[in-house]
A and B are shown apart, each in its own frame.
Chain A
Amino acid sequence: MSGSQHEDSLAERRWLNALAKGDPTALGGLYELYGEKIFRYTFRMLGNRSDAEDATAETFLRVLRRSAELRADGAFRTWLFRIARNLCIDKMRQHRLLELPTDAHYTGTEDRATLRVTVQQALSELPIEYRDPLVLCDLEDVSAKEAAEILQISVPALKSRLYRGRRALRDRLGGSIEKLT
Chain B
Amino acid sequence: MNEFYNKLVDLYAGGELTEELSDEMEAEALKNGALAQDMFTLRKTVEALQSLPSPDLTEESDYRILLKMQIQGTEVRRKSPESSHWQYHLLIQS
Contact = CB atoms under 8 A, between A and B. Distances in A.
Contacts of A167: 10, 42
Interface stretch (A70-78, A85-93, A116-124, A146-154): A116-124
A43 B48 contact: no
Contacts of A35: 57, 62, 65
Contacts of B62: 35
B18 interface: no
Given A28-B76, A61-B72, 20 more contacts: A24-B90, A24-B92, A26-B90, A28-B90, A31-B76, A35-B65, A49-B61, A52-B61, A53-B61, A57-B69, A61-B74, A119-B49, A123-B52, A163-B14, A166-B10, A166-B14, A170-B42, A173-B48, A177-B41, A180-B48
14 contacts: A27-B74, A27-B90, A29-B86, A31-B65, A32-B85, A39-B57, A40-B54, A44-B52, A57-B68, A57-B72, A60-B69, A61-B69, A166-B45, A177-B44
Interface of A: 23-29, 31-32, 35-36, 39-40, 43-44, 49, 52-54, 56-58, 60-61, 64, 115-116, 119-120, 123, 134, 138-139, 162-163, 166-167, 169-170, 173, 177-178, 180
Interface of B: 10, 13-14, 40-42, 44-55, 57, 61-62, 64-66, 68-69, 72, 74, 76-77, 85-92
